[in-house]
Amino acid sequence: MKLTFYKYQGTGNDFVILDNRDLTFPKDDTQLVASMCDRKFGIGADGLILLEEDVASDFKMVYYNADGNQSSMCGNGGRCIVDFARSLGIISNETEFIATDGLHEAHINDEIVSLKMIDVSDFKISENFIFLNTGSPHHVQLVKELDDFDVKNKGKDIRCNVYGEAGANVNFVEQISNDVFKVRTYERGVEDETLSCGTGVTAVALALHKMNKLQEHKASLLTPGGTLRVRFTPGNTGYKNVFLEGPATMVFKGIWEQ
């Protein structure tokens, strides 16, 4: 079996992307996906994405975590597949596509991909953190001295012991200024810290506005892999017009053969 793949990254959050419009990829082969994402013996990625045809939109996005299992929405992956669809000639600079959490619109301007995320109205607020779903479940917690924080071990503990078998992604945040925040994320399915998480920084921006830590309707989120921006419209029942913005870059193209 020979598979043509494309390696993409969005602020260091990296993906293997395949054009599966002919439906030849063995979608139930968990071990194949995990092997392709393996950083020692495979291509290496935080996740794998399939682009497929969809009757009601420009294309369909199917997302797998690095462990080989299909998963919930990935914001940076969504931005990367938009750039991939443009490279295939499926779209120009604007699109609508379907993902596991519903329909998304996106546009590309000067190589920055702006992706509309789902509306968010449900927040579970605790004394030390906020939990919300921005297409994927996220725990958001403010900390001090984030650069020295033990993200992997603290994140794993919260992911497993607070949220059970299904787990959640865990974001640790340090405020830098009125609308600038540092973010480090432990991702379920990867089971490690990633350089960036799109649904994660989206959750951070909305959570901090909900906590009155962010007065603006936009934020810059500084991740280890680069800067992402989130803008939104707050309302009486939650947040709408939520956009995740940042670069998406193809790293290389290759053939997987086995």
The single residue of 37, 80, 160, 197 carrying the catalytic annotation is: 197
Residue from 37, 74, 80, 160 carrying the catalytic annotation: 74
| Closest-CA residue to 141 (of 166, 170, 163, 179) | 170
Give the gyration radius of the chain's Cα atoms.
Answer: 17
CB atoms within 10 A of CB 204: 32
Instruction: Tell me whether residue 160 is one of the annotated catalytic residues.
Output: no
Residues forming a β-bridge with 1: none
Tell me which residue has tokens 């991702």. Answer: 187
d(CA 228, CA 190): 20
74 in active site: yes
For 61-80, b/e burial (b = at least 16 CB within 10 A) is bbbbbbebebbbbbbbbbbb
Please calculate the CA angle 122-72-89 and round it to the nearest 5 degrees: 120
Q: What positions carry a catalytic annotation?
A: 74, 197
